[in-house]
Structure 1
Amino acid sequence: MSLLSDGGPAAAAAPSSSVAPTAVPPRAGVARRFLRKPVAVASVAWLLLVAVLAAAAPLLTSASPTASSITNALAPFGGDSPLGTDGLGRDVLAQLLYGARTSLVGALIVVAVALVLGLPAGVLAGYYRGRFDAAASWVANLVMAQPAIIILLVVLAQFGRSTELAMLVFGVVIAPGVFRLVRASIIAVRGELYVDAARVAGLSDPRIMRRHVLPVVVAPTIIQMSQVLGIAIVLQAGLEFIGLGSANQASWGGMLNDAFAKIYAAPNLLLLPGLAIVVTVTACSLVGNGLRDVLGVGATPPVRRRSAVRAVGPVVEDGRPSSGTAPAPDDALLRVEGLRVAYPEPDGGEGEVVHGVSLTIRRGEVHGLVGESGSGKSQTAFAVLGLLPPQAHTSATTLTFDGGDLRGISRRGMNQLRGRRIGYIPQEPMSNLDPSFRIGSQLTEPMRHHLGLSKAEAKAKAIQLLDRVGIVDPARVFDSYPHQISGGMAQRVLIAGALSCDPDLLIADEPTTALDVTVQAEVLDLVRDLQAERDLGVLLVTHDFGVVADLCDTVTVMRAGEVVESAAAAQLFADPQHEYTRSLLAATLEGGPARAALTTPAGGTR
């Protein structure tokens, strides 16, 4: 609307530099830190005082705010009218008290309508994106492009003068600002790795939003609403001042209107309603500033390691497997044939990044997926997990897990497999733990969701798992936040989480990349031991042939999205068949000849 582009109410409500879209979620001790800000505390006290006085107006004065007495017009302070009367003989104290009620109710209507319309739409659009996001964004832009005052005049002309109706219209006007803030906050957090980790754990979308996404929205939304509250009070007073509000109720704007008409006879009538509006609106702004400081909004957002993804099941190209597909081994746990992944390109076509990948993982087998960066290893793993971005087009001749077809599987069906029967160990362990929750909370939630364990049972199993993965003091780590543990311990926590629901298949995506050499060896030993004792099928995504030689039974080598060689690990290291595999093995330093001395541009050595 025109008010938006000209710095009007919705513009003020939209995200600004002080309200970062990736706000840090509220932390413990918010109330304590807020109480250390005397200006903010005084502002809250003033707002509470205004609310109490408005609610108790009938108890504080017996005068009617709308009853006029011309013979008692412009009466001085004292007597039956402690603050005197206005130009129509109405009691000023009664008008202030009842006017506070009108202003607060009108402001709350604006806030409520803006939240009801903007918050759910922003959450759904930011989390699911797609068509709803496009449609909701188009509607928000359309509303913001219209002149707000014209819409208000049309509505009031059609339905009559009403303060409540006018505030409802302004709530609709401001809702796009709420929508944009919430949507931006959700988009910023939904691509974080700890959200992907929750998705891989098999948690439902509502549960992920409630625990990991919505807490990020709370802080900026609360701050924005404190600002909107003050804006709404000014808008309500302005409407009453120009005569567009309800004629049968007291308001601060109506008092200003009457005082302006008597400005030469009784200029003091402007003082009290003017001060009430200024102090109340300033208090709303100062409360918002205080909340911004204690909630950490505007702090540097966490670095995003990977673009946002959402779970989508692979789609079949022709609807049925080809007749030429080889029969599956009896102990096949995961079978992939002819997997292709493509992304849209600017010219309208599609660029394929995975070209007909095929592999089979048996129970109790560690299958290494090897290749240089960009060879399509992670794309293949994410396609199996159903975690590719929504724009990806995935097809496969065969894609089965334990005999069940994964092609076209529903989001709900994939959620029941991930975490419960398919575990996932990601790289970058610290980024896959939500900093807002303790380690124990993040470990027990999948167990309670998938296994139906009680809180006590889930805690006992989580501590047992932490002990099993080699953490010395599992009870302390259980009660710790992610920033209180090391990277190696975080990786062990993720391994414990991946095994918490006793999966059959474990997909490990570069599980030791971010760790030092000593911790890498410990983690690899742990994966080997757990695989042997639980008879797990393991898909190990890596580019490290040392890890492959240490762990894997079978190796598939990928290059530029294609499988170039697949063989038993011993056979591949002893007699690699493909030139690319030989070049990768030759690039390793172990056992190779000493490197020649480096030469300077002038030809000398150094």
Structure 2
Amino acid sequence: MKQDIKVEHPGVEALRMFMRNPAAIAGMAILLVVVLVSVAGPWVYPADPFEMITAPMTPPFTEEAWLGSDQLGRDVLTGLIHGGRATLAVGAIAALLSVTIGVTLGAMAGYYGGRVDAALMRVTEFFQVLPSLLFAMVVVTLFSPSLVTVTLAIGSVSWPSTARLARAEFLKIRGLEFVRAERAIGARHARIIWKVILPNALPPLVVSATLAIGAAILFEAGLSFLGLGDPNQMSWGLMIGSARQYVLSAWWPVVFPGAAIFVTVLAVSLIGDGLNDALNPKLRER
């Protein structure tokens, strides 16, 4: 009798391997808590993060302010809850913009090759050697600091590594038999790029997109630390930047938002490592 051999879908197998990774699950749980607190926290705890509620530099673990107050008497806990939304939004949207630009340019370069590849790679190299922080500072300064300009600045300087990765994947896949078969039946270039090659190049790009979120969060914190964050929108980076000069006399307005950034970026990195292991066929075989 013939036995039916069940072939598992690669996505199901990757999900199973991801769920077996304790570090990735821990990262997912931490990120989920951070997102829930940042999204639902302002409704559960509807206080104004810019309101001065107590004496400046009130130490933490007091009745007036559980995590203390900053140099203006603002509640650090309220700032953490309300600031997470802006920080996560900048990280996610800037990463999406960065990945979109990088994948588009990398896909075009890898698929068409020749002069198109040479021209797009020269543009990529120009942005790669450009001091990204300095360029972002110039963009934010020219168009005034706001969440929109900070997000656009981060996304516009963070895409070269994704573009190179996408180009390498398209160069590797474009010569395979199933791609040649699509060309033979007269498929359009747009279909081959976005519906044939891109789905097969997604695994490393998904990992790159995940890690780009953490990088964007750190980038936003760096700009805010330099005083280039949106002064009208509370964020973890703004909290650190506004209290940086008082850190020797009062550590809590800097340490608590810094710890929130550290934990969030660590969680994203753990998820990225887990996705890398789960989406890598060679690691799945092991």
TM-score calculated relative to the size of structure 2: 0.86
Give the corresponding residue for 2:3: none
Is the counterpart of residue 119 in structure 1 residue 119 in structure 2?
no
> 1:393-439 CA distances to partner (integer Å, 9 max, x unpaired)?
xxxxxxxxxxxxxxxxxxxxxxxxxxxxxxxxxxxxxxxxxxxxxxx
Which aligned pairs between 1:177-576 and structure 2 lie closer than 5 A?
177-296=161-280
For 2:213 and 2:145, locate their aligned partners in 1 and report how far apart those are by CA, in whole Å.
Answer: 22
Alpha-carbon spacing, 1:26–1:216, altered in 2? closer, same or farther (3 Å): farther
> Helix, strand or coil: the match of 2:65?
coil
**What is the Cα deviation at residue 210 of structure 1?**
4.4
Give the corresponding residue for 1:100: 84
Amino acid at match of 2:115: R
Name the structure, 1 or 2, with higher relative contact order (CA <8 Å, separation 6+): 2
For 2:266 and 2:182, locate their aligned partners in 1 and report how far apart those are by CA, in whole Å.
Answer: 42
Amino acid at match of 2:204: P
Is the counterpart of residue 89 in structure 1 residue 89 in structure 2?
no
Give the corresponding residue for 1:3: none
Structure 1 unaligned segments of length 5 or more: list them.
1-24, 300-606
For 1:100 and 1:265, locate their aligned partners in 2 and report how far apart those are by CA, in whole Å.
Answer: 25
Alpha-carbon spacing, 1:149–1:127, altered in 2? closer, same or farther (3 Å): same
Q: Which has the higher helix share?
A: 2
Q: Which has the higher strand share?
A: 1
Amino acid at match of 1:224: S
For 1:89 and 1:259, locate their aligned partners in 2 and report how far apart those are by CA, in whole Å.
Answer: 11
Contact 2:132–2:158 under 8 Å retained in 1: no
Is the counterpart of residue 161 in structure 1 residue 145 in structure 2?
yes
Q: CA RMSD in A?
A: 2.4
Give the corresponding residue for 2:6: none
Amino acid at match of 2:159: A
Amino acid at match of 2:280: G
Amino acid at match of 2:143: F
For 2:282 and 2:166, locate their aligned partners in 1 and report how far apart those are by CA, in whole Å.
Answer: 15
Amino acid at match of 1:115: V
Which aligned pairs between 1:167-178 and structure 2 lie closer than 5 A?
167-178=151-162
For 2:136 and 2:70, locate their aligned partners in 1 and report how far apart those are by CA, in whole Å.
Answer: 29
**What is the Cα deviation at residue 241 of structure 1?**
1.4
Alpha-carbon spacing, 1:27–1:201, altered in 2? closer, same or farther (3 Å): farther
Alpha-carbon spacing, 1:256–1:65, altered in 2? closer, same or farther (3 Å): same
> Helix, strand or coil: the match of 1:133?
helix
For 1:76 and 1:286, locate their aligned partners in 2 and report how far apart those are by CA, in whole Å.
Answer: 30
> Helix, strand or coil: the match of 1:88?
coil
Is the counterpart of residue 142 in structure 1 residue 143 in structure 2?
no
Amino acid at match of 2:111: Y
Is the counterpart of residue 128 in structure 1 residue 128 in structure 2?
no
**What is the Cα deviation at residue 273 of structure 1?**
1.4
**What is the Cα deviation at residue 276 of structure 1?**
0.9
For 2:54 and 2:72, locate their aligned partners in 1 and report how far apart those are by CA, in whole Å.
Answer: 5
Structure 2 unaligned segments of length 5 or more: list them.
1-8
For 1:99 and 1:297, locate their aligned partners in 2 and report how far apart those are by CA, in whole Å.
Answer: 39
> 1:145-180 CA distances to partner (integer Å, 9 max, x unpaired)?
322233223223322222431231121111222211
Give the corresponding residue for 1:514: none
Is the counterpart of residue 44 in structure 1 residue 34 in structure 2?
no
For 1:174 and 1:235, locate their aligned partners in 2 and report how far apart those are by CA, in whole Å.
Answer: 10
> 1:504-543 CA distances to partner (integer Å, 9 max, x unpaired)?
xxxxxxxxxxxxxxxxxxxxxxxxxxxxxxxxxxxxxxxx
- Give the aligned length: 276
Contact 1:34–1:290 under 8 Å retained in 2: yes
Identity value in percent = 36
Contact 1:63–1:91 under 8 Å retained in 2: no
Give the corresponding residue for 1:471: none
For 2:160 and 2:225, locate their aligned partners in 1 and report how far apart those are by CA, in whole Å.
Answer: 26
> 1:302-354 CA distances to partner (integer Å, 9 max, x unpaired)?
xxxxxxxxxxxxxxxxxxxxxxxxxxxxxxxxxxxxxxxxxxxxxxxxxxxxx
For 1:265 and 1:41, locate their aligned partners in 2 and report how far apart those are by CA, in whole Å.
Answer: 38
> 1:246-290 CA distances to partner (integer Å, 9 max, x unpaired)?
112222122223443333433233332122111111111111110
Alpha-carbon spacing, 1:62–1:78, altered in 2? closer, same or farther (3 Å): farther
Contact 1:69–1:88 under 8 Å retained in 2: no
